[in-house]
């Protein structure tokens, strides 16, 4: 089933634009919303249940992606939302931390777009 609403939280404008473009191409009927800062998401967190998928950078200004992931999955309304965590700070410890926080998938930057699309399709499929 194709997602209806996808949220991308990524502070790098080039990565954000590339990821959003890929999502819009793969899921043309989906609404893709992009935020550059995790605090923006927390301001609207009560609406978390509306997302079918969250693409989340782990190294964000103000609040880490790991903390956002924790908060989403600690909330009953957000527990069902699959999260793809992305990071340029790829270590086994980081992958372990984010998966313990509730991320459904982990992707190191830079990545191949085919790998990104494959993971996204698996998460919403």
Give the tens place of pLDDT for each residue, 60-93.
988 999 999 999 998 888 889 999 999 998 899 9
For residues 82 and 105, the answer to whether their CB atoms sit within 8 Å is yes
Domains of the chain as residue ranges with CATH: 5-124 (3.40.50.2300)
Could you report the per-residue pLDDT of 6-27, keeping only the tens digit for each?
A: 999 999 999 999 999 999 999 9
Is-above-0.85 flag for pTM? yes
3: tokens are 């997602």
Q: How far apart are CA 83 and CA 105, in angstroms?
A: 7
What is the predicted pLDDT for the residue at 77? Answer: 82
**Residues 33, 93, 14, 64, CA torsion sign:** positive
Tens of pLDDT, residue by residue over 23-50, are 999 999 999 999 999 888 887 766 556 7
């Amino acid at each position: 089933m194709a997602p209806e609403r996808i949220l991308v939280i990524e502070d790098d404008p080039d990565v954000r634009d590339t990821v959003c473009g890929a999502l819009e191409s793969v899921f043309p009927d989906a609404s893709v919303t992009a935020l550059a800062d995790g605090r923006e998401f927390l301001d609207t967190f009560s609406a978390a249940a509306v997302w079918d998928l969250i693409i989340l950078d782990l190294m964000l200004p103000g609040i880490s992606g790991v903390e956002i992931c924790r908060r989403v999955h600690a909330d009953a309304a957000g527990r069902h939302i699959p999260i793809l965590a992305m990071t340029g700070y790829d270590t086994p410890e980081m992958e372990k931390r984010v998966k313990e926080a509730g991320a459904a998938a982990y992707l190191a930057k830079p990545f191949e777009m085919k790998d990104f699309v494959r993971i996204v399709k698996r998460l919403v499929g």
